[in-house]
């Protein structure tokens, strides 16, 4: 378990951020992932890579979190437009500002497209791995990626026109 | 089917801003304090399995492990190796359940991942689908065991876990780095094969830095790098952050 933590904790953390989990909840969700891993690692059959398997757990934990947030009638995400408007105004730290800008772009996507984009563009999975992780046909994963990229480019363009360049 | 060039690829036709944002996104990793906080929370699950059937815990063991996790979770928030601790300097170092409640998610973790509204889990589609989060025993508002009474009538301190001891060390960093260092030595004595040895070293190195013993800190950091080449802390320690 220690080795799994050392090797993968950072990217699990990052993935939750990119999937739109509120900052305050990320640590709890990473902990949930490792509790699951602790229970299931002995059953891991190696049909996929450990990393892909972990991503699958992350997605399910994130999905559960969104569902719980919805049930509690909480706002799991702020309005993307607010994010874009706020980026650069509220975060004096450049890295935090950049993070907020990226999150604002990702927040313009629905969950399916966002997941594919995060796994491919940010986590560096191949499209075959992306499709395996989310459990959809490869062609579907490609379609979602294409749509996500188009949406992100459009959001960037729109924000430029509003003078809120991310 | 050819995969498109990623936005952050230098040869992609993505706008520079997009390339910059996505490149930064790949470099967004948790800080040393966040990692250490998480590691201390997870201490119990780092323990090697007690039997020859790893990770197939008995019900009692699961309850014990998860309970320990919950207690650990309650102890450790906002781990801060920076110059300003989050805890008031006059606050007691010893955590008690009434001081810091566990996070809501730790008290009531979700039903099995992928479970439907009825709480029933669908058949997993793959190995990755066969995951579920455990039922977590909510911590009692009272200590799990009453402290023993010493002959002189004073209550003995319950056995302190490795994570609790290191948490005390971490809390002492800002106000009393010498004590933090001493506590890490105490941890080394009490838990020579502890699963949180990395966290112990991270705290000790920080304490040495704060005590102005930079040469010792550097030597210890170099030793850390040799002993834990795959550590999640390596990047931070390598930078020699003051």
**Per-residue pLDDT of chain B in tens (242 residues, 90 and over written 9):** 789 999 999 899 899 999 999 998 988 888 777 888 888 888 777 776 655 444 444 444 444 444 444 444 443 333 444 444 343 333 333 323 233 333 333 333 333 333 333 333 333 333 333 333 333 333 333 333 344 444 454 455 568 888 889 989 988 988 999 999 999 999 999 999 888 999 999 999 999 999 999 999 999 999 998 998 888 887 555 444 43
- A153 and B15: CB-CB below 8 Å? yes
Task: Return the closest-CA partner of residue A122 out of B29, B25, B4.
Answer: B25
Query: Across all residues in chain A, what is the average pLDDT?
Result: 83
Residues 6+ apart with CB under 8 A from B179: B169, B172
User: Is A157 found in the same domain as A85?
Assistant: yes
Q: What is the least distance, in Å, from the CA of B235 to any CA of chain A?
A: 11
Residue A86 to residue B157: CA distance in whole angstroms: 50
Contacts of B20 in chain A (CB under 8 A): 98
Q: Across the strands, what pairs with B155? A: B149
Q: What is the least distance, in Å, from the CA of B133 to any CA of chain A?
A: 6
Residue A102's CATH number? 1.10.10.10
User: Is A70 found in the same domain as A109?
Assistant: no
Could you identify the residue written with the tokens 């090697």?
B48
| Tokens matching residue A70 | 């919805």
Domain end among A76, A95, A113: A76
Task: Return the closest-CA partner of residue A76 out of A110, A117, A49, A125.
Answer: A110
So what's the pLDDT on residue B177?
94
User: Is A96 found in the same domain as A14?
Assistant: no
Domain containing A59 equals 1-76
Count of the separate structural domains present in chain A: 2
Residue range A48-95, pLDDT digits in tens? 788 888 999 999 999 998 888 766 655 544 444 444 444 434 344 677
Q: What is the least distance, in Å, from the CA of A53 to any CA of chain B?
A: 5
Closest-CA residue of chain A to B107: A28
Task: Return the closest-CA partner of residue B180 out of B196, B191, B164, B166.
Answer: B166
| Other Cβ atoms within 10 Å of A114 Cβ, number | 21
| Other Cβ atoms within 10 Å of A104 Cβ, number | 25
Give yes or no for a contact between B36 and B76, defined as CB atoms under 8 angstroms apart. no
User: Is A94 found in the same domain as A150?
Assistant: yes
Of B24, B34, B228, the CB nearest to A98: B24
- B55 and A120: CB-CB below 8 Å? no
Domain end among A20, A48, A76: A76
User: Is A148 found in the same domain as A86?
Assistant: yes
Residue A62's CATH number? 1.10.1740.10
Domain end among A44, A76, A108: A76
């Amino acid at each position: 378990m220690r080795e799994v933590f050392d090797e993968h904790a950072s990217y699990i953390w990052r993935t939750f951020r990119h999937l739109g989990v509120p900052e305050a909840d990320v640590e709890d969700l990473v902990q949930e992932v490792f509790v699951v891993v602790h229970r299931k690692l002995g059953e891991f059959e190696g049909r996929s890579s450990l990393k892909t398997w972990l991503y699958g757990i992350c997605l399910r934990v994130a999905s559960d979190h969104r569902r719980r947030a919805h049930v509690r009638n909480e706002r799991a995400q702020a309005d993307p437009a607010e994010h874009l408007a706020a980026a650069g105004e509220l975060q004096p730290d450049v890295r935090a500002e950049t993070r907020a800008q990226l999150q604002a772009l990702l927040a313009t996507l629905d969950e399916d497209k966002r997941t594919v984009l995060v796994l491919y563009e940010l986590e560096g999975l191949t499209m075959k791995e992306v499709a395996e992780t989310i459990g959809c046909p490869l062609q579907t994963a490609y379609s979602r990626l294409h749509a996500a990229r188009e949406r992100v480019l459009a959001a960037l363009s729109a924000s430029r026109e509003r003078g809120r360049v991310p | 089917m050819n995969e498109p060039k990623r936005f952050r690829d230098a040869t992609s036709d993505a706008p520079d801003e997009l390339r910059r944002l996505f490149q930064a996104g790949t470099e967004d990793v948790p800080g040393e304090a966040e990692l250490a906080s998480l590691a201390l929370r997870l201490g119990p699950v780092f323990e090697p399995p007690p039997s020859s059937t790893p990770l197939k815990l008995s019900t009692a063991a699961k309850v014990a492990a998860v309970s320990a996790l919950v207690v650990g979770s309650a102890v450790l928030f906002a781990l801060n190796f920076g110059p300003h601790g989050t805890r008031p300097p006059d606050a007691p170092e010893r955590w008690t359940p009434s001081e810091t409640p566990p996070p809501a998610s730790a008290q009531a973790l979700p039903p099995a991942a992928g479970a439907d509204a009825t709480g029933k889990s669908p058949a997993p589609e793959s190995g990755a689908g066969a995951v579920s989060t455990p039922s977590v025993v909510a911590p009692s508002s009272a200590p799990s065991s009453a402290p023993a009474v010493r002959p002189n009538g004073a209550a003995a301190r319950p056995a302190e876990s490795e994570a609790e001891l290191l948490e005390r060390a971490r809390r002492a960093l800002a106000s009393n780095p010498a004590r933090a260092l001493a506590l890490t030595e105490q941890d080394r004595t009490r838990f020579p094969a502890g699963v949180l040895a990395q966290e112990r070293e991270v705290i000790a190195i920080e304490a040495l830095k704060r005590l102005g013993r930079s040469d010792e800190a550097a030597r210890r950091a170099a030793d850390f790098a040799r002993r834990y080449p795959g550590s999640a802390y390596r990047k931070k320690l390598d930078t020699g952050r003051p």
